[in-house]
Amino acid sequence: MSTVRVEDLAISVEGKRVVDAVNFELSEGEVALLCGGVGSGKTLIAKALCGVLYLYPSIEIRGRASVLGLHPVDALRKRLAIYIPQDPLMFFTTASFSDEARLLGVDTVSITEARFRAPWEYAASEVFKEAMRLALKSDAKLLIIEEPSSYLDEMELSAFLNSLRYVKELGKAVIIVDHFEEPYLGYVDKIVRIEGDRRFFSLTSFLDRIERRLEKPRSVIEVRNLVVEYRGGRRVDLSNVVVENDEVVVVLGRNGRGKTSLVRALMGVAKFRGFVRVAHSALFVVPQNPPRVFLRNSVAGEFQAMGISDELLRLTPFAEYRSRNPYTLSIGESRALMLMLALLSPRKSVLVVDEISLGFDRDLLEWISKAVSEFANLGMKFLLTTHSTRVASRFGQARIIKLG
């Protein structure tokens, strides 16, 4: 019996067809890569297979999908499938890693201070890794894991891929959902490519409409001798970080080196010692944890709330989504929306993005690197973080600060 069977699966969101006629099959002990660009419907397929998509009244699902011969909802009830979403916090239903482990019947938690802290107190990369460990140790026969390359640095991703052979020996089937194929070649048994239709517009189509010139203070972000301490004794020490006028800075470091702690200190949501100064009030932060900060019930409403004209909205890829609730967008689309709002708002001049590649495919990353260069010339300042040297190299004009 196949672990997964998908036949002519089609998914529509609010009447718009997003996934059309997808077919594939997966046997026990096989690993598949579900690959496609931002907005192609990868997450919708993953949620359909784990059963949760059938709970959304505004989503229409046609065709057939089964897990071990069962409807995905029945497989979910029997705990035959387990799903790590793009937002790894959504994996957890309890207030601590140790409680979640007990709920899943797993007796090992890797983070020693887990009993002291809730999952939302950790950086998203640490939450993802713990969710993945718990899923791999569970009794589920199907594991669906979204975007490992966004949360794991190069060494961690290599270790995860090498561990798949042990998972296959246990007869588990694994579906990896990601934008990129290259890291997984040689490790997966099959690749299911989902074609998307996301096209990003030319920067020149609206740059000439932005007449403002931003104020240019000498240094807009200054961090010196920063120490962030967490419950359980964990401590993060950071060297000096300074963002000067018209500058793009990329903070590069492996997971656990303090990138997210730096962002949290700038936001004022982390307790710290040391000197932190943000010299401009117009600070916009796109966090590593997928956004939950939208204020309106439509994309057009978000543009309006940020003081962006309808004329500029019509020039963006989000024009066709103007009536969509932003919380119905994929993680990649919602992060792209936050970036667009920050770039086009007349009130924002310092943009901080934690893990700049999270949720983005190659084409969108290329667009973002060009946008950062163009908007830096207009006076906007950027502080970006990443664990990937490959991603950091895309921002050729940036000054790179390496942590650890």
Residue pair 282/350 in contact (Cβ under 8 Å)? The answer is yes
Minimal CA–CA distance to 28: which of 220, 180, 196, 167?
A: 167
Higher model confidence: residue 48 or residue 273?
48
What pLDDT shows up at residue 234? 61
pLDDT at 288 over 60: yes
What pLDDT shows up at residue 348? 65
The chain-wide mean pLDDT, for the chain, equals: 82
Q: What is the pTM of this model?
A: 0.76
pLDDT at 114 over 60: no
Residue pair 351/286 in contact (Cβ under 8 Å)? The answer is yes
Q: What is the pLDDT of residues 48-95, one digit of tens each?
A: 999 888 888 888 999 999 999 999 999 988 989 999 988 888 888 887
Measure the CA angle with vertex 91, ends 51 and 337; round to 5°: 90
What pLDDT shows up at residue 196? 63
What pLDDT shows up at residue 48? 92
177 confidence band (pLDDT: 50, 70, 90): very high
What pLDDT shows up at residue 71? 94
What pLDDT shows up at residue 83? 93
pLDDT at 145 over 80: yes
Q: What is the pLDDT of residues 184-230, one digit of tens each?
A: 999 999 999 987 655 555 555 555 555 444 444 455 788 887 887 76
What pLDDT shows up at residue 250? 92
pLDDT at 26 over 90: yes
Residue in this structure with the two tokens 């240094």, named with its chain if needed: 219
282 confidence band (pLDDT: 50, 70, 90): low
108 confidence band (pLDDT: 50, 70, 90): low
What pLDDT shows up at residue 35? 92
Between the alpha carbon of residue 15 and those of residues 61, 198, 327, 331, the distances in Å are 11, 18, 16, 20
Mean pLDDT of 375-380: 80
Percentage of residues in the chain having pLDDT higher than 70: 86
Helices marked H in 170-286 — which ranges?
204-207, 259-267
Greatest mean pLDDT among 77-91, 113-127, 275-289 lies in 77-91
Q: Given its phi and psi angles, is residue 245 left (phi above 0), alpha (psi -120 to 50 degrees) or beta?
A: beta
Alpha-carbon gap, residue 200 to 79, rounded angstroms: 40
For 359, which DSSP code?
A: T
For 290, which DSSP code?
A: P
What pLDDT shows up at residue 142? 94
What pLDDT shows up at residue 33? 95
What pLDDT shows up at residue 331? 83
What are the strands of the beta sheet with 142-146, ordered from one edge? 81-84, 142-146, 173-178, 31-36, 190-194
Give the dihedral sign, CA 196/155/334/56: positive
For 380, which DSSP code?
A: -
Q: What is the pLDDT of residues 344-362, one digit of tens each?
A: 887 667 888 999 988 888 8
Higher model confidence: residue 71 or residue 311?
71
Alpha-carbon gap, residue 22 to 8, rounded angstroms: 5
pLDDT at 131 over 60: yes
pLDDT at 44 over 80: yes
Alpha-carbon gap, residue 159 to 37, rounded angstroms: 25
Residue pair 338/327 in contact (Cβ under 8 Å)? The answer is no
